[in-house]
Structure 1
Amino acid sequence: MATRSAFVWDESFKAGADLRTHQHKIVEYTAVDTVNITNAATDRAIGVLQNKPNTGEAANVRILGIAEVVSDGSGTAIVAGDYVGPNNAGVAVKKATADYSVLGIALDPSSAAGAVIRVLLLPGAWFRTAAG
C-alpha cells in the first residue's frame, strides 16, 4: 500500500510573466529570483508551479518532494518509472534523449495531453545514455 510523505520543499520566486493558467507546469529560473514556464525541451527545470500568479506576484514552486504535474503522453506514452522533463510549453514529457534536463520520475502513467500525474522531483538531474 502506498503512503504519502509530507516532506516537500516549496520556494517563492517572482513570476516573470502571467502564469495564472499554468498551475502544475514546469518552471525554469530566468533571472534573479524570477521564474517562468519552460519553453524548450533542453531547459533546466527548477521545479513545478504550485499557484496561479500574475506577472510580478509570488510564484510558489515545488523544488523537492512529490508534485502534481501537467503531462503530455499523447505522442509517447509515459509509464510509471519513466524519466520526465519539460517540453516547450512547461508540460512533462518522457525523456529519452541524452543530456536533457530531467524533472523527475513519473509515479503515474500518462497517455493523454493535459493529464495531471505525480512526479518524484530530482533537482538538477540529467538523462544520460550508456557509453557506446
Structure 2
Amino acid sequence: MLGSWRWNVGFGLLGTLLIIIFSMNSNPMSVVLLRSLYAFVSFFVLAFAARAALAAILKPPAMIVNAEERQADNGSQLDLTTPDESEDLNDMLKAQLQGDANHSGKDNALAVQSSQFKPLNPPQFVSADDNQPEHLAKALRHLTGE
C-alpha cells in the first residue's frame, strides 16, 4: 500500500477542520463536533480507499519466475520465443541430399515443390565474331545519332 496510516489521519483532520470552519457560524457547538467526528471517519475511510487505488495503479507488473506459474498463464501474455526446429531442418537437408522424397509428410510437400521448381535459364548473349572496323564504326555512328 502507498504511504502509511498517517496520511489517513491527516486527511481525516483536514475534513474535520473544513466542517468546523464552514458550520461554526450556523450550528451549535455539539452539532459541529458531531459532524466533525463524522467528517473525520468519512475522510479517513476515503483516504484509505484512495491510497488502495493508487497502490493498485502504481504497482509495477510482476515478473513471472516460476515455471508452473508460466504454464498457468499461457495465453495471457505474448510469448516471443521461437521453437527449436533444428532437427526438422537437419532432416530436410538430409532428405534433399539423399533425394528421398518419401521421408515424411512435410518432406513430401517439399519434394513436390522442389520437383515443380525450375530455375530461370535466360539465353546467354553471344558476342559477334565480326570485329571489322567498318561495322564497328557504323554501329557507333548509329548509337551516337550521327
More strand by share: 1
Q: TM-score, normalised by structure 2?
A: 0.14
Bigger radius of gyration, 1 or 2? 2
User: Higher RCO, 1 or 2 (CA under 8 Å, sep at least 6)?
Assistant: 1
Q: TM-score, normalised by structure 1?
A: 0.15
